[in-house]
Structures are given as structure tokens and as C-alpha cells.
Amino acid sequence: MTNWQEECSIQQPKSLELVNRDTYIQRRNIVGYERENSDGTKESGWKCESRFISQEDYNLLLAQEEINQPMKDNVLVSMAAQADIYEKLLAQEENQLTIMAAIADLYEMQNGGK
């Protein structure tokens, strides 16, 4: 596996491309760009980071992704549960404010607004 390097292309590159029987080019952070040249013409293309990886490295990355996916799913479930708890807390706070306002109204009625 090589280090990440910047790559520019006229055509949108694929995130993974087989170069030969046992080598891939892996790309990330693929973004389009447009710039004006010194002669006033516009040039557009794609920038990304790329590296060469072997078939063995590719298989290891796939295996790692399969291991990490359940953890990512658990994080999403946990975040959803936290959001539900937060909404319930907000509703409880709203109920408490309603009760406090009702108590204040009763107090004012009993004490003549004093």
C-alpha cells in the first residue's frame, strides 16, 4: 500500500479501480473544480487523493469494513435512543413549566394577586 497522493483528472475518477490483476487504485475526497487560466479560458476537472493497494490489502480493508459496520450500526442506534431520551426530557420540562404556571395562578387567586 502506498501513501496518499493528490491526483487531478479531466474525467470523474472511480473510488476504486483495478489497474492490473493484483493492484488497485483507491481514491478518496473526490471533488470537482473549475479554474480560470491566465489566458481567460476555463478549465474544469476532478481532484482527489489516491494510492495504490494490492489485492491482499484490498481484501484486508473489506474485512475491516465488515467488522466495523456492526459498530457503526450500534452507534446509530445509540444516537437515536439518545435523541428519544432528549425529546422526552424536553416534554417533561414543558410539563413542569405548565404545572409551575398553574401553581402560580392558584397562589395569585388565593392571595388576591399580592
Give the tens place of pLDDT for each residue, 92-114: 999 899 999 999 989 888 887 66
Contact 35, 43 (CB under 8 A): yes
Name which of 42, 40, 24 is nearest 32 in CA terms: 42
The partner residues of 16 in beta bridges, in order of sequence, read: 26
pLDDT at position 114 is 60
What is the residue-averaged pLDDT of the chain? 88
Q: Is the pLDDT of residue 69 over 80?
A: no
In this predicted model, what pLDDT tens digit does every residue of 11-40 receive, in sequence order? 999 999 999 989 999 999 999 999 888 898
Q: Where are the domains of the chain?
A: 5-110
